[in-house]
Every structure is written in C-alpha cells, then in structure tokens.
Amino acid sequence: MENTNKKKLFFISKNTLTGYAFLGPNISGFLLFTLIPIVVSFGLAFVEWDLLTPVKYIGFSNFVKLIHDKSFWYYLYNTFYFMLSIPFGMFASLGLAILINQKLKGIVVFRTIFFLPVISSMVACAIVWRWIYNPDYGLLNAFLSWVGVRNPPPWIASTSWAKPALIIMGIWQSAGYNMLLYLAALQGIPGELYESAGIDGATKWQQFWYITWPSLTFVNFFIIIMGIINGFQAFGIQYVMTNGGPADSTTTIVYYIYNHAFQWFNMGYASAVAWALFALMFGFTLLQWKLGKQKG
C-alpha cells in the first residue's frame, strides 16, 4: 500500500514538474518582457534619466509637464482622429459580411480575398499603399486623373490628406477580421425571424433594423472595445507609411512615446506619457464596458 502511494506521489510530482517545465518559458517571457518592464516604467515616470547621466528623482514633474505639453495634446488629437476608422470600418465590415452571407457560387473565394489583408504583413501592405498613394505615379491618382479629376490630392504628402489616407488603409486591413465576426453573428440569427417578419409585411430595411442590428450588439461591443484599444496603440502604419509626417500630422501618442524613449532618450517623460495613455485606455474601456452592460 505504501509503495502504491509512493508511486502515485512520484507520478504526480513528475507530472507537476513537467507542467511547470512547459509553463516556464512563457512565465519567464511574461516576467522579463511584460511585468518587470511595467514595474520599471512606473518607477521611471517619477525620475529624469537619459541613459547616460545618473537617475534623478523629480516626483510628479513629468506629469505636470505632460499637462502643459502642447505636443502631447496635439498627438492625442491625432490618435483620436485615427479612431474615426472604427465606425467606418464597422459599416464596411458589416456590408462585406452581409454580401458574403448570400448563398452564391464562388462566395468562398471572395471570403478568402477579403480576409487576405488581415494575414498579410503590415510592412508589405504599407509599402504597397505608399505606392498607391504616391502623388506622382501612384495608382490611385492615375485612376482619378483617368476619370477626369483635376489636381488629385497628394495624399500622404499632404498634412490635410495624410490622416484620411491612413484611415482608409487601416479600414482595408482590418475589415476582413471584423467581417468574419459579423458573419458568424449573422449566421447565428434564426431564419424563422426573417420569415415571420416577411409574412407580417416588414421591409428589408425593417428586418435589418429590428432583427439583424439588435442581434449584433455583442459583436459591435467587442469591435468597439478592440478598436479603441488598438487606436490608442496606433504606431506601425504611421511609422512605416509617413514617419509621423508630414509636419507631425500623423504622429500618435505611441509614436511620441517612441521618440522620447528611443530617439531623444527621455526615459522618464516617455514613461509618464505611457502611463497617461494607459489611464486613458483603461478609462475608455471601462466606460464602454458599463455602457455595454446597460444596453445588454
């Protein structure tokens, strides 16, 4: 009996060690590249440090500076501007989902085509779109000139058009993923609801407004939450497409953090801006969560 218990304990401990061995790399990665940097960045938010001189404690000076920093508020405005892609992207994705939800031949091919931008490299996509937006030989301006548009926009070379141009690209890249979410929700709506509504004389628009749209509440909630989080973290497209230009018109908060930390080596101020960004993200997410629960 004792031997049996010892064998059980041995196997349990062996399985436990095996489990920890598999979890070890993930836990180590989380500690080294996530948790420890978060703790360190919180401490750095209260100091002045440029990687070369000794660390100098300055209390809340970085946060006070942030409040009076006009660049911070301008880049925050840019960040919110890029979030206009959320509602436009939702409508585009829903339209695609309704389109490919039809029982037509070859619809699987279109699903694949619409989803391709999601799995494509962001850098590769950005390079292609830079060529499309080129004011001199770009595909888009060539098409606009062909249809008779005089003096087509310079797109990413213009402070007025750069943000809308990047929003269009962002919608194109993310529409396929949101399309699948909407498609799954649409296919979960019982067909009997539409049949009953049709018998009662409801038009297609009334069926959409009173049946389809309310059934998409939770998908809309998820897309808005993720859109806000991703919007606050916008950096990659701006970095590759425009380098934050022209004239900082596409520089976002994360790009501002990057510049302070890795271009100007203002580690303390960069950390303070990062924590201010976290507070904004947390606040907006919490607000949207409460609004979603009330609607639910």
Per-residue pLDDT reduced to its tens digit, 80-116? 999 999 999 999 999 999 989 887 777 888 888 888 9
Sign of the alpha-carbon torsion through 47, 48, 50, 51: negative
Q: Which of 125-129, 200-204, 276-280 has the lowest mean pLDDT?
A: 200-204
Please state the rounded mean pLDDT for residues 137-160: 91
Q: Which of 3-12, 36-45, 60-69, 218-227 has the lowest mean pLDDT?
A: 3-12
Nearest to 75 by CA among 273, 291, 266: 273
Strand boundaries in the chain, DSSP class E: 47-48, 56-57
Q: pTM of the entire structure?
A: 0.87
Average per-residue pLDDT for the chain: 89
Query: CATH homologous superfamily for 83-251?
Result: MetI-like (1.10.3720.10)
Distances (CA, A) of 73 to 60, 220, 241: 18, 29, 22
Tell me how far the alpha carbon of residue 279 is from its chain's centroid: 17
Q: Which of 50-59, 82-91, 105-114, 217-226 has the lowest mean pLDDT?
A: 105-114
Asked if pLDDT for residue 5 goes beyond 60, the answer is: no
Please state the rounded mean pLDDT for residues 219-225: 92
Domain ranges of the chain: 2-64, 83-251
Query: For residues 81 and 16, what is the distance between their CA atoms, to the nearest angstrom?
Result: 50
Per-residue pLDDT reduced to its tens digit, 267-291? 999 999 999 999 999 998 888 888 7
In this prediction, residue 113 carries a pLDDT of 87
